[in-house]
Structure 1
Amino acid sequence: MSGLDPYQYIVVEQQYSHKLKVIVLQAENVTKGALGDLLDTPDPYVELFIPTAPESRKRTQHIDNNINPEWNENFEFILDPNQDNVLELTLMDANYVMDETLGSASYNISKLRVGQTELVSFLIGKATNVYLELSVEVCSAMDLRFSLALCDKEKLYRQRRRDRVMLGIKKLLNMEKPCFLPSSPREVPVVAVVGSGGGFRAMVGFSGVMKALYESGVLDCATYVAGLSGSTWYMSTLYSHPEFPQKGPEQINQELMKSVSSNPLRLLLPQHITNYVQALWSKKAGGQPVTFTDIFGMLIGETLIPARMDIKLSELQEKINEAQSPLPLFTCLHVKPDVSELMFADWVEFSPYEIGMAKYGTFMPPDLFGSKFFMGTVVKKYEENPLHFLMGVWGSAFSILFNRVLGVKDVSSGSTMEEELEQIKPEHIVGVDSQDDEEPRKAGVEDDHQHAEASWIQRMVTSLFSDSTLFNTREGRAGKVHNFMLGLNLNASIPFSPFTEIPSPNSPDEEVDAVTDPDEFDRIYEPLDVKSKKIHIVDSGLTFNLPYPLILRPQRGVDLIISFDFSARPSDSSPPFKELLLAEKWARMNKLPFPKIDPKVFDREGMKECYIFKPKKGDKNCPTVIHFVLVNIDFRKFKAPGVPRETEKEKEFADFDIFDDPETPYSTFNFQYSNQAYTQLHDLMEFNTLNNIEVIKEALKDSIVYRKENPSRRSVSLSLNEIQNKKFLKRETRGQAHK
């Protein structure tokens, strides 16, 4: 077990970086030497290089045939004032074949005082002078938000949504007694709908769920919809649709059925893949990391949202700004090289308003995710990634599909994705990243851009269509982005939950039994590496397959969780609680309220369409969980709740298994669904949801009663600065966090 205090979490110690402003003014008496000057007049330019800066190298334009050039070009560097920052200046001569170095000089930036401007002369050789104007200022405006509180946009959304939910509850429970209805906004419970991973099986199943929730009015009572992997693909398809929410899931689901009925192999033909790789070259050439997950995102996008390939996550704000729909939450994991994602993983949350990690209290607007940061400040802004890139990241476990679909690897027909994931887990999701350090370009060598592009495209395509070891390294399974926490200090520790009571040093830690592996979550208290220039982001289902960490944040104050689990099981009769038990363990280890999940309920009650787990009496701030299972029970006999099937055709349509079918139409690996397979799974989950609407209503009434009896319950809105003064910050542990 990690040596970090398990009752606390790492947070960022906010420090301000410095901005060095450089104006390259002019040079005098530029010379190539006596002989060189006889042969040619210099075409000079200046290179600036600060090894300690994240965006370390910049250069001026070259000026033709001029020994006294004037540039007057402006540059900026973001610096850590605690480091020894040295500016290295190189004077270059531009040539057609190879640029020539004329000389270099350096300047220690610590000589500069904040707020003052200095004119500095650099002597190159014996006769040449280059003049720079230098100034340093403090970067007081941060691009990262350091706080455990919800962002202002989400707070405003919650206010507006609460009023709509209050009306939705009264409509859903219109015949109930007043004691079961909210009489004020403070009595309105926060309801979250949760969808698991499971590839297209999860996506199609969740489409039926959302149709049932939408048409029954339950969705009007929900504040959040959280998804993981396959469920995020449906959420992305739904929320990006130009006519949602005016057009409901029913019509959009018909479009989805057509999308998944075509053969995905057509998108994996060499000409398509070459087009994908070519499209990614500009991203790579601009300085952003590119992996096979980018290609997989394009594949998913072309399959599900082909007419919306340019849409961005931030654009989904228009679907929620009037609180007309539940706020969608998506997730992936940050993982470390050479550490199993089952042992260490940081949950990254995505909403149309913000992206970040609650573990560290660091968040940013969606358009900054992927940009280059240093000490909380953007040093190089890139265009916001398209939604399909994020869809590839959220479901990146399926990038091993390239092995299976392209026939790269000999996989037995009976094996499941889960079995293949088990095989790769000991090797870990990412390998050692040898390309993390950006080697400075050698001065005097002209980049052959076209050759580099052609070479890179050829390597990517060749790797894709050959039995390449790349499939067993980070490129095959993990997305990669610039580390937005680069250069930050992780000193103080605070609880993930502000309600956590800090125990005495001698109090024993609560033992939490292993669910599947004795090492699971063993290192989740460790911090992110703030020195790594890039971070790996992967499918959250690789640690556990339900996105509970997003809606267990105390700041969201969720009262009722309606959870739909589409995870693979060995058979239709297998116990359905593995992922829920992992979520419970994660919550207990993070000291977050969670109802006790008793797996023995399966022995007592057998397989059911849903199970309900309630807090114990006296449990504060603990949500109720309704856990829906992917199972075909009553659907075989009823075509709608209470309406029996009559004809043989109706009975035959409903007589199917999910995991025991030898034809495996619902395999996690299946990315093509016939219209019948789609309709069966969609209608099954729509039925299961509608068949248990009364269970949902009863739980909703209980949540309202709890709100009435506990009017002080509210979401938490604390900034990190406010937290410093709270009693639960253990001052004596400052500085114990791993650097």
Structure 2
Amino acid sequence: SGNLDVRLGFGLCAEEREFLWKRKKHVAAALKKVLNLEEDLKDHEVPVVAITTTGGGTRSLTAMYGSLLGLQKLNLLDCITYIGGLSGTTWTMANLYEDANWSQKYLEDAIKEARKQVTKSKICCFSLDCLKYYYNDLMERTKEGHNTSFIDLWGLVIESMLHDKKDEHRLSDQRQAVDNGQNPLPIYVAINLKSSYSAQAFREWLEFTPYEVGLLKYGASIRAEHFGSEFFMGRLVKRLSETRICYMQGMWSSIFSIDAMYVWNLAADSEDFWYRWTRDRVKDIEEEPFLSMNPYEVDTCLFTPSNVLSSTLRDVLTGRPTIAQYPNFIRGFQMHNKYLESEGFSTWKGTACFSVTFLGRCKTDFLQNSTSPFHKWNKWKPDLKSISVLVCLRGEIEFGCLGIPLDQIAKYISGQGIPFPRIEISEEDRENLKECYVFEDADSPHAPTVLFFPLVNDTFTKYKAPGIERSPEEMPEGKVDVSSILSPFTTREVCFSEENFDKLVKLTDYNVLNNEKLIIRALRLAVARRKQRNY
């Protein structure tokens, strides 16, 4: 595939291999300091530690900041090689990676900026000026040749929620934050679906890094800046401008599991805000069906005369927007008749396997299975990304029980032939969550040690810092509701009070700090296993 614009193969791209070589130097130095090692680690002795996160809108954005702050306080950020995100955690990651040296700086400054954006009123996102900006930007995007959908509008809303001005950053711009190995490599994920099949029957993982965008199943990747351009038979036939990061965030997000109007009416604390805004200014609004007969049908562009701008945007908002459309970069390829026998090819047990030409457009849906944090790592074989320690930062409300079926996930991943520890969870743990769970397999040196941090308020209710109890006056600060349906941190809440933002950051920061011993133990074990492998 040397002369093609699509890279074919299941190995890492040259840029990522170079990143790993450089990152090892940072990780080795950090581990020597954290673990109090007497000698420098050799290259093969340096474990790969990955952070994986789950979605949850503004809650997961905020919780991730707190968890990363805790890791930074423990001098562990430099021990991390990869950070994976979806939905709200991609908002955190995209903000952080605007700074080429973010992990080398104290995160309090970044958290202060996030606090400012999270706590501001979101009604401003639907001001007349913002609506005109959305319209003009979508029209410009259409003129450039891109398909546009509601998800693009949602991306612009995210931009307004998290920034005070237009964000010009692109995914490829994040290379400056990793080219010297100074930060972990960010990985964003999405799901590719076919409109004629359910998500349970057909789903394929797309991986986005500053270097490449790849269809994991087929071992096909393109340069990050080429995502959205048109390809045929492995060649770039129509190059379009690189998509701004806000549009990517709209695609990576999964907040729209319910009607957008419902979300925003609740978020703005005004049941009829949007309804009144449009009705006061527009006459004879055509009544459209609440949902399309085919949920996979979306307009390819947004077009309206300027004098009915609000009517058009209102019509767009009242659907159930779940699909973003991008050109399929493996269009025109033919499957080899023995492709299924390829060592790197994964049939992804439990989903349909297509050995015919894949000619459809890429429809990326975030509502199906996107909350599982483990799937994005399960294509990596031990000789590729070789994860030694997997730190799962779960940003979802558990509603009093272990909501994620870890044991089922372990069974699924093991079924793909990928080493993974057995997950055994007692009924007591399912009912009363701990701050951290450790899963490991002593009999499988290639299986990663999994550190699982659910979003839970356990000892934080009584302790303001590890080992330091709260005074009677400080007890209210430990009351952080992350487990009930009345929680102020549900996914539909896109605006937090300053008090609630601070509480969630402090809680997730504390949960990491309070489990320092478990993290250090996992790192020691990973180093020991690497030394035993001796290669």
Q: TM-score, normalised by structure 2?
A: 0.87
From the superposition, tell whether residues 458 and 370 of structure 1 become closer, same or farther in structure 2 (CA, over 3 Å): farther
> What SS is found at the alignment partner of 1:303?
helix
> What SS is found at the alignment partner of 1:363?
strand
Q: Which has the higher strand share?
A: 1
CA displacement at 1:243 relative to structure 2: 6.2
> What SS is found at the alignment partner of 1:154?
helix
Of the three residues 284, 304, 319, the one matched with 1:455 is 304
Give the Cα–Cα distance (whole angstroms) in 1 for the partners of residues 356 and 99 of structure 2: 36
Of the three residues 162, 172, 182, the one matched with 1:314 is 172
From the superposition, tell whether residues 354 and 560 of structure 1 become closer, same or farther in structure 2 (CA, over 3 Å): same
CA displacement at 1:464 relative to structure 2: 3.4
From the superposition, tell whether residues 458 and 628 of structure 1 become closer, same or farther in structure 2 (CA, over 3 Å): farther
2:79 paired with 1:221: yes
Residue aligning to 2:365: 538
CA displacement at 1:529 relative to structure 2: 6.1
Task: Tell me, yes or no, if the aligned pair for 2:395 and 2:455 is still in contact at 8 Å.
Answer: yes
Task: Tell me, yes or no, if the aligned pair for 2:190 and 2:370 is still in contact at 8 Å.
Answer: no
Give the Cα–Cα distance (whole angstroms) in 1 for the partners of residues 302 and 421 of structure 2: 54
Of the three residues 686, 690, 698, the one matched with 2:521 is 698
Residue aligning to 1:688: 511
Deviations 1:426-455 (A, max 9, x none): x9997354878xxxxxxxxxxxxxxx9863
Of the three residues 600, 610, 614, the one matched with 2:436 is 610
CA displacement at 1:567 relative to structure 2: 2.0
CA displacement at 1:266 relative to structure 2: 1.4
Give the Cα–Cα distance (whole angstroms) in 2 for the partners of residues 521 and 266 of structure 1: 46
Instruction: Report 1:141-180 matches (<5 A).
Output: 141-174=3-36
From the superposition, tell whether residues 355 and 200 of structure 1 become closer, same or farther in structure 2 (CA, over 3 Å): same
Give the Cα–Cα distance (whole angstroms) in 2 for the partners of residues 496 and 640 of structure 1: 52
What amino acid sits opposite 2:353 in the alignment? Y
Instruction: Report 1:703-714 matches (<5 A).
Output: 703-712=526-535
Task: Tell me, yes or no, if the aligned pair for 1:192 and 1:551 is still in contact at 8 Å.
Answer: no
Of the three residues 308, 327, 334, the one matched with 1:489 is 334
Give the Cα–Cα distance (whole angstroms) in 1 for the partners of residues 386 and 115 of structure 2: 36
Residue aligning to 1:646: 471
Residue aligning to 2:480: 656
From the superposition, tell whether residues 470 and 338 of structure 1 become closer, same or farther in structure 2 (CA, over 3 Å): farther
Of the three residues 283, 295, 314, the one matched with 1:465 is 314
CA displacement at 1:357 relative to structure 2: 1.2
Give the Cα–Cα distance (whole angstroms) in 2 for the partners of residues 623 and 499 of structure 1: 22
Instruction: Report 1:175-254 matches (<5 A).
Output: 183-241=41-99, 244-254=102-112
Instruction: Report 1:332-351 matches (<5 A).
Output: 332-351=190-209
Residue aligning to 1:523: 351
CA displacement at 1:164 relative to structure 2: 1.1
CA displacement at 1:245 relative to structure 2: 3.7
CA displacement at 1:471 relative to structure 2: 1.0
CA displacement at 1:646 relative to structure 2: 1.5
2:455 paired with 1:627: no
From the superposition, tell whether residues 471 and 222 of structure 1 become closer, same or farther in structure 2 (CA, over 3 Å): same
From the superposition, tell whether residues 304 and 586 of structure 1 become closer, same or farther in structure 2 (CA, over 3 Å): farther
Deviations 1:273-302 (A, max 9, x none): 232022111221333210011111111122
Task: Tell me, yes or no, if the aligned pair for 2:445 and 2:529 is still in contact at 8 Å.
Answer: no
> What SS is found at the alignment partner of 1:559?
strand
Give the Cα–Cα distance (whole angstroms) in 2 for the partners of residues 678 and 368 of structure 1: 37
Give the Cα–Cα distance (whole angstroms) in 2 for the partners of residues 353 and 200 of structure 1: 27
Task: Tell me, yes or no, if the aligned pair for 2:83 and 2:184 is still in contact at 8 Å.
Answer: yes
2:388 paired with 1:559: yes
CA displacement at 1:189 relative to structure 2: 0.6
Give the Cα–Cα distance (whole angstroms) in 2 for the partners of residues 227 and 488 of structure 1: 30
What amino acid sits opposite 1:478 in the alignment? I
> What SS is found at the alignment partner of 1:226?
strand
Give the Cα–Cα distance (whole angstroms) in 2 for the partners of residues 392 and 428 of structure 1: 21
Residue aligning to 1:285: 143
2:508 paired with 1:675: no
Deviations 1:325-375 (A, max 9, x none): 111111111111143324321111111111111211011111100001111
What amino acid sits opposite 2:295 in the alignment? G
Task: Tell me, yes or no, if the aligned pair for 1:314 and 1:367 is still in contact at 8 Å.
Answer: yes
Task: Tell me, yes or no, if the aligned pair for 1:544 and 1:583 is still in contact at 8 Å.
Answer: no
Q: Which runs of 4+ in 1 moved over 6 A?
A: 427-430, 456-460
> What SS is found at the alignment partner of 1:193?
strand
- Structure 2: state its 5+ residue gaps: 272-290
CA displacement at 1:493 relative to structure 2: 2.8
From the superposition, tell whether residues 550 and 711 of structure 1 become closer, same or farther in structure 2 (CA, over 3 Å): farther
Give the Cα–Cα distance (whole angstroms) in 1 for the partners of residues 249 and 446 of structure 2: 33
From the superposition, tell whether residues 528 and 210 of structure 1 become closer, same or farther in structure 2 (CA, over 3 Å): farther
Q: Per chain length, whose mean CA-contact separation is higher, i.e. which structure has more relative contact order (CA < 8 Å, sep 6+)?
A: 2
- Which has the larger Rg? 1
> What SS is found at the alignment partner of 1:653?
helix
Deviations 1:410-435 (A, max 9, x none): x9x9xxxxxxxxxxxxx999735487
From the superposition, tell whether residues 521 and 196 of structure 1 become closer, same or farther in structure 2 (CA, over 3 Å): farther
What amino acid sits opposite 2:213 in the alignment? I
Count of aligned pairs between the two proteins: 511
From the superposition, tell whether residues 187 and 469 of structure 1 become closer, same or farther in structure 2 (CA, over 3 Å): closer
> What SS is found at the alignment partner of 1:464?
helix
Residue aligning to 1:595: 421
> What SS is found at the alignment partner of 1:194?
strand
- Structure 1: state its 5+ residue gaps: 1-13, 15-139, 414-426, 437-451, 503-519, 713-739
What amino acid sits opposite 2:313 in the alignment? L
Give the Cα–Cα distance (whole angstroms) in 2 for the partners of residues 640 and 529 of structure 1: 57
From the superposition, tell whether residues 638 and 280 of structure 1 become closer, same or farther in structure 2 (CA, over 3 Å): same
Give the Cα–Cα distance (whole angstroms) in 1 for the partners of residues 488 and 266 of structure 2: 22
From the superposition, tell whether residues 303 and 470 of structure 1 become closer, same or farther in structure 2 (CA, over 3 Å): closer
Task: Tell me, yes or no, if the aligned pair for 2:260 and 2:318 is still in contact at 8 Å.
Answer: no
What amino acid sits opposite 1:479 in the alignment? A
What amino acid sits opposite 1:681 in the alignment? L
Task: Tell me, yes or no, if the aligned pair for 1:337 and 1:430 is still in contact at 8 Å.
Answer: no
What amino acid sits opposite 1:645 in the alignment? R
Of the three residues 325, 339, 359, the one matched with 1:480 is 325
Task: Tell me, yes or no, if the aligned pair for 1:168 and 1:220 is still in contact at 8 Å.
Answer: yes
From the superposition, tell whether residues 304 and 435 of structure 1 become closer, same or farther in structure 2 (CA, over 3 Å): closer
Task: Tell me, yes or no, if the aligned pair for 1:429 and 1:477 is still in contact at 8 Å.
Answer: no
Deviations 1:595-632 (A, max 9, x none): 11223364599421011110241x25211111111110
Give the Cα–Cα distance (whole angstroms) in 1 for the partners of residues 138 and 431 of structure 2: 53
CA displacement at 1:708 relative to structure 2: 1.1
Q: What's the RMSD between the two structures over aligned residues?
A: 3.1
CA displacement at 1:389 relative to structure 2: 0.8
Task: Tell me, yes or no, if the aligned pair for 2:390 and 2:449 is still in contact at 8 Å.
Answer: yes
